[in-house]
Structure 1
Amino acid sequence: MSTAIAIATVMLICTEICYFVAKKKGLNRPLWVILGALLGPISVIAVFLVKSNKS
């Protein structure tokens, strides 16, 4: 039970990080939130590596 809570907490944190980074970079926020929820830490790394859409 505690493992499931830990995994859910990590996924929630990754989702929030992806949202705020995507917002700052002008990326598609709903897409990055879904990726954050599904892929967790991998999506956090990816959102930092993607180029910004802001000019």
Structure 2
Amino acid sequence: MHLKITYKNILESTRPRFKNRYHVIKVQIPTAANLLAVIIILMYSLVFND
């Protein structure tokens, strides 16, 4: 049995089926904002600790 694998077949199988194409990014925004705040606080406290 010969299986033909093309770029389109791989792309279609890995791409999630969302109505909004930016849904995954919008879901990650709160986590990214919290992580950014923690990193900024850590950098400020570790670097500028006079």
In the superposition, the TM-score normalised over structure 1's length comes to: 0.39
Q: 1 or 2 for the larger relative contact order (CA 8 Å, sep ≥6)? A: 1
The structure that has the greater radius of gyration is 2
